[in-house]
Structure 1
Amino acid sequence: MPKFSVVIAVYNKEKYIGNTLQSVLEQTFTDFEIIIVNDGSTDKSETIINSFKDSRISYYSQKNAGAGAARNTAIQKATAPFIALLDADDLWDTTYLEEQNRLILKYPSQHVYACNSKVQDKNQYLNLSYSVPITEKEDLVVNFFVASTINSIINSSTTVLKKVVFETVGFYDTSINSGEDTDLFIRIGLQYAIVFSPKILVTIVRSQESLSQTTHSAKNKPTFEAYEKYEDSNKPLKKFLDLNRFSMAILAKLANEKETFMTYYNKIDPKNLNSKQRSLLKMPAEMLRKLKLIKNFLNKKGANFSAFK
């Protein structure tokens, strides 16, 4: 039995999946299997995957059912005690699994482990910041909600979980078309601490084809209703949810989804937002669209502007 099951869901990633797989096969820690589920791709993803001849790769194909469903299939087919999540367009440093194994050995009683990452947008690289102080050499054991109000301390390419975590919190919610990661991470955060290595060992490739970049409606995003009952007794959760509601409300306003906007807006405690965020919520949609264009232009020039800072 391998120590890690690397699970990858693929949908039309012919431009990326080859490099992603190569980054796994070049790991210095080699005790792993790779479970790939092709979620009904219509491009050459399957051909590229099948060009890799390695006994550690298990390949499955199913009709298109969404990223959550494909990830669930991969996790259920995994045989290792640790699940290593990886998106089909992201890249691991060669020592990624070695570092995750170090964390597991150092913190054996924990269940969720993550490494730091950077974002690649075309030829630019952006280091991520978090709502807890990060030093270069010190591991952290943190509360997910406290650590994730700027960027999520875990994501779907930087995280290793004991397989039993899914038995406790459940699998990806297949009814959510975009944002199923956040929904799963909330359930994880309610149950487990996060062990975090500050080493930047993952590159998040921001592809224009990704669902997060092409989803312009808030209607199929998470509603967070299932977690409202915990908000009064869990202030970090409440703040985390309000910041996500802020993002969903802005998305809804840009899409002229007035009813959806009000659903999110009415549940936000303004004290959990900064002054910039409160101002953005009150702006007319047309002004928001102009600001978004300016923000995208400046980001392309290397200036990082975020409403979360």
Structure 2
Amino acid sequence: MLVSDKSKTLVSVLIPVYNSEKFIRETVDSVLGQTLADFEILLLDDGSADKSSEIIKSYTDIRVKYVSCTHDFIKTLNHGIYIAKGKYIALLDHDDLMLPHRLKVQYEYMEDNPNIVVCGGYMYSFGMYSRLMKAPLTHLDIIKTMIIHCPMMNPTGFIRRDVLIEHNLRYSYGYSFAADYKLWSDIAQIGEIANIPEVFTLYRTYPEQTSIKYLAESEEAAGRIRLEMVEYFISLVKEDSKYYPVLMNRFLPALDELGEEGFFSSNTLFPFMHELISGLLERGDIVFK
């Protein structure tokens, strides 16, 4: 078991909690079973009306910390970032399970790769569905994939807290049920992201799951994030590229007009833009600042 001899906590595990009495004990126990021992668990109660608080307060392990919050999910998440004492922040949802090696592997990876701002990994779903959930591994593949979908699995996220503080990065209002996607896209524009090809989290699937109940709202917000990522890449096209005047003066205006007329949907637009931007990157016409 890896224990730090430093006074600073290595990892703060952030778990937002809302009416989680069915699952929260199993979730907390999975964190307490980690092979890395130097962590705190911040259980951010977002105004639960069930027995979640009773269950959490029954733990005697001083690493388990109950934090009462008013019902405002974005504010609750950002409060967790603010009060976290760890060098790193590890994310986990109230209904998912950490595999025992997760924190140790991610901590050691981040210590060995100081250029990486965030690392994630794979998940395995259980419950309604059972499957291995993979993700792209390198920063370039991850950031390009953000044009199509979110390539970071939130319950595997492991973040350098000081980077969030230094760049004032927080969860944003206005991106209902896709706030994690928005945060990853913001982080990707200021630092490198990576995924480790290991399963770190067991992802529970069930009919009442938030991601299932609010799929339409999530997709609407995700579409805006994808458009923001397209605009980000376009802003990086070199002005001396032979494609720059074509893009700015003809292609993008035509694309806007055709989109307004309903000639294509997001299902066709974003894969097309992914291919276009991939081509510009391969040709060296996009340069990261």
Calculate the TM-score normalised by the size of structure 1: 0.69
Aligned match of 1:11: 18
Deviations 1:66-123 (A, max 9, x none): 2x2211111111011111111111111111011112211221232111122112233x
- Aligned pair 1:161/2:159, yes or no? yes
Match of residue 121, structure 1, among 120, 127, 139: 127
The 3 A distance-change label for structure 1 pair 227 and 19 is: same
Residue in 2 that maps onto 1:200: 199
Aligned to 2:113: 107
Secondary structure of the structure 1 residue equivalent to 2:48: coil
Q: Aligned-pair distance for 1:195?
A: 2.5
Aligned equivalents of 1:264 and 1:189: distance in 2? 31
Flag the structure with larger Rg: 2
Does structure 1 retain, via aligned residues, the 8 Å contact 2:169–2:187? no
| Residues 213-252 of structure 1 deviation map (CA, whole Å, 9 limit, x = unaligned) | 11154399423365564242469xxxxxxxxxxxxxxxxx
1:22 aligns with 2:20: no
Once residues 66 and 263 of structure 2 are traced to their aligned partners in structure 1, the CA distance between those partners, rounded to angstroms, is 43
Contact 1:169 1:188 (8 Å CA) reproduced: no
Residue identity opposite 1:7 in structure 2: L
Q: Is 1:103–1:195's contact at 8 Å kept on the other side of the alignment?
A: no
Counterparts in 2 of 1:267 and 1:93: CA distance versus 1, 3 Å: same
Give the C-alpha shift of residue 17 in structure 1. Answer: 0.9
CA contact (8 A) 1:8 1:35 kept: yes
Once the two structures are overlaid, the 10-residue window that deviates more, 141-150 or 86-95, is: 141-150
Partner in structure 1 of residue 3 of structure 2: none
* 2:232 alignment partner in structure 1: 230
Report if the CA contact (8 A) 1:2-1:79 is conserved: yes
Amino acid at match of 1:232: I
Partner of 1:179: 178
Q: Paired residue for 2:190?
A: 191
For structure 2, the residue ranges without an aligned partner over 5 or more in a row are 1-7, 238-258, 273-289
Name the SS for the 2:126 alignment partner.
strand
1:305 corresponding residue in structure 2: none
Tell me, in whole angstroms, the C-alpha distance in 2 between the residues paired with 1:264 and 1:96.
45
C-alpha distance in structure 1 between counterparts of 2:220 and 2:168, whole Å: 19
Task: Judge which range, 179-188 or 22-31, deviates more.
Answer: 179-188
Alignment-derived partner of residue 240 in structure 1:
none
Matches within 5 A, 1:71-86: 71-86=77-92
TM-fit CA distance, 1:208? 2.5
Shift of 1:263: 10
Q: Residues 234 and 269 (structure 1 numbering): CA distance in 2 closer, same or farther, change over 3 Å?
A: farther
> SS of 2:61's equivalent?
coil
Moved over 4 A (4+): 140-143, 147-151, 225-228, 261-269
Cα distance in 1 between the residues matched to 2:154 and 2:262: 25
Tell me which residue corresponds to 1:57.
64
Structure 1 gap segments, 5+ residues each = 135-139, 236-260, 275-309
Kindly state the Cα deviation for residue 266 of structure 1 after the two structures are TM-superposed.
6.4
